Amino acid sequence: MSAPTAHHSPTTPAAPGRDACDVTADGAAWLASAETYPRSALAHWRSRPCAPAVLPCGSAFDVISAPVVFGRRMLDRLWEEGPGSGPVAAHRGRVLLFTAPGTAQRLPSLLAWEEWGRAVPSVLCHGTGDAVTVPPPSAGAPGSAAAHLESRWLVAPDTRHPWLPGPEVMLWACVRAARSAASAAVRISIFPGGDQDAKVYDVSRRR
């Protein structure tokens, strides 16, 4: 399966050097647009900036949830070989990849027809009628509720109109991650594994 074609966001990419885990005001507005009353959601976040939020899927975005190790493999493939990603969060041992609406409905059938589909572990697809818990806009200090829940942004929202990958891009990322995992299982390495939490994604490269 060849790499998906690069896409470009209609907005200006984030400035180099900005922390990829910071949610901007525009990013918070985009998240709030998923709610029936966006202004109320923004007011709630201003009063509790370190509290996670529960947002409905299906209108502004869908969410593909993967186990943390497999999800990080997907994210690595998207940034190293593919078109980049939309916003991505980690929450309670899962990686949440924000995707275009409709992705949650189509991805399961695409995986069912894919040869490597059986090698993709417990990917959950959240679309219309579902809701997900997302990290707070502010990471908070060590020991805060967000830190305790292992809830943080890996690629934080920074625009009102982020580019979101569709089902074909997610299928490609799942297959590439599954192949990478299979290769790692048979590879013998004399080097210790690195700290997976140390990975930083350069949002200035975002499509």
DSSP state letters, 164-194: ---HHHHHHHHHHHHHHHHHHHH---SSPPP
Length of the chain: 207
Q: Which two tokens stand for residue 78?
A: 């998207």
Helix (H) or strand (E) holding 152: strand 152-155
Nearest Cα to Cα of residue 157 among 11, 6, 41: 11
Question: For strand 53-56 and strand 131-134, is the pairing parallel, antiparallel, or unpaired?
Answer: antiparallel
pLDDT at 15 over 50: no
pLDDT, average across residues 120-143: 85
CB atoms under 10 Å from CB of 145, counted, come to 13
Q: What is the pLDDT of residue 182?
A: 76
The partner residues of 63 in beta bridges, in order of sequence, read: 98, 126
Question: 3-class DSSP state for residue 206?
Answer: coil
Rg (CA), the chain: 17
The partner residues of 43 in beta bridges, in order of sequence, read: none
Angle formed at CA 171 by CA 5 and CA 187, multiple of 5 degrees: 100
Asked whether the beta carbons of 64 and 123 are under 8 A apart, the reply is: yes
Q: What is the pLDDT of residue 174?
A: 94
Q: What is the pLDDT of residue 138?
A: 78
Could you tell me where the DSSP H helices lie in 52-189? 68-80, 103-113, 145-148, 167-186
Q: What is the pLDDT of residue 12?
A: 30
Q: What is the pLDDT of residue 164?
A: 98
Question: 3-class DSSP state for residue 37?
Answer: coil
pLDDT at 8 over 70: no
Q: What is the pLDDT of residue 201?
A: 60
Q: What is the pLDDT of residue 205?
A: 56
pLDDT at 37 over 90: yes
